[in-house]
Each structure stands twice: as structure tokens, then as C-alpha cells.
Copies of this chain bind each other. A is one copy, B any other.
């Protein structure tokens, strides 16, 4: 009898080296998504992957720390891909597209995502911090690349980097608040926040003002930016009448 009975748990399939490594990393990520790193053991990973503990050690001789770092690097690579959206269409649509991918990642990885951003506690903070900082930097660079600007100055860069952190914070708060508001509303809110961030910077920085105006000129009539402008004008008008 070589065929295994159904429902007997995961089979010990023969996989290639890269495939097995990828499977173990994906398994670890699934576990870290449900449980903080300190609560996940190598036995859990082996059991969940349907392999022996020595096999996990053969691939990750450094044990849990090495596996955690591999899972972190793999998640970082996925995260960085979120912001690499095609360079076509109005800026606000590209941003919405990137945020859809990013929030899907957050939704899927849940608690693991939160642990990832906190640096976890089974590895050296300086090393995990470097990985997470790298993701932030790459995301900021990718966002800037979609803006009509060649050499972003310090104020424009600060606006983009601050927004990246605000996105991160908002998604952690969103997980914390039982995934409220709905994901689509959160995405629209974050796009609007980016535009608002740029507006606030534009009133004191000529370059940001030019970039914002150039980006706005490419937005469709009645699109996201028009809607925000309309709503803002409606909001500002009564506030100014009352004051």
C-alpha cells in the first residue's frame, strides 16, 4: 500500500530544495500570522508542514531565529512588491492600487504583520529593524517614482515618508479595531491623506506645490482628487462663515 488514506494529515511529499525551503517559510509565516513569534516552536512548524523536526533544522540550522528572519525577509520582499504598481493612469489611481495590494497583505498576515513591524522578540532588534526600515524606504521611493518629479527635495521626501508611517500606523490601528472601518474606506482615506499631506507641505514648499499641481492636472474630471477638493471646499466654506 503506497497510497495514503484521506484525512490522515499532511503527507511527507518529496520536494526540491527551493520548494521545501519556500514551503517551510510559508508555513512559518502562517503560524506567525496567528501567534506572536515567542509562542511558535520549531515543532509547531514541523507539524504544520507535515515534516520532521530534523528536516526543519537541515534547512534552518540556526533554528527558530533563522526561520523567523527568513520569514521576515520573504514578507518584506512581498511588501515591497505592493508598491511597485504599473506607471500608468492618474497618480491617485496608482496609489489606490498600491494600497489595495498593501491592505490585502495586512489583512492576510494579521497579527504576524503587527509582530513584523514591532520587530518581533526572538531576533536582534537592530537586524529586524533594518529589514523593516528597508521596506519603508523602498515604499517611499516607489511612491516618489510615480510623482512628476526628478529630484525630490527634503520637504517633499519628508511628506512622503511621513505618509508611509501614517499608512503603517493606520493599518496597525485597523487590525487593533477589529478591521474597522471597511478596507475600501480605509484605502480611500489613505489616498485622501496623501493628497492632504502634500497640500499642507505645498503651502510652504514650492517644489511640492508644483508636483501637486502637475499631478492634479493628470487626474480625471470628477475623479478622486476633484471629489476631495469639492468636499473640502464645502467643509471650509461654512467654517469660514462661522468664524
Contact = CB atoms under 8 A, between A and B. Distances in A.
Copies in the assembly, this chain:
2
A221 B197 contact: no
A80 interface: no
Contact of A216 (B121, B209, B243): B243
Contacts of A11: none
Q: How large is the interface on A (under 10, 10 to 19, 20 to 34, 35 or more residues)?
A: 35 or more
Interface in A119-153: 119-121, 124-126, 129
Interface stretch (A22-30, A44-52, A59-67, A166-174): A166-174
Contacts of A180: 154
Contacts of A189: 200-201, 204
Interface stretch (A1-9, A12-20, A96-104, A228-236): A228-236
A199 interface: yes
A229 B240 contact: yes
B226 A240 contact: yes
Interface of A: 38, 118-121, 124-126, 129, 154-155, 158, 161-166, 168-170, 173-174, 177, 180-181, 185, 188-189, 192-193, 196-197, 199-204, 209, 212-213, 216-217, 219, 221, 225-226, 228-229, 231-233, 235-236, 238-240, 242-243
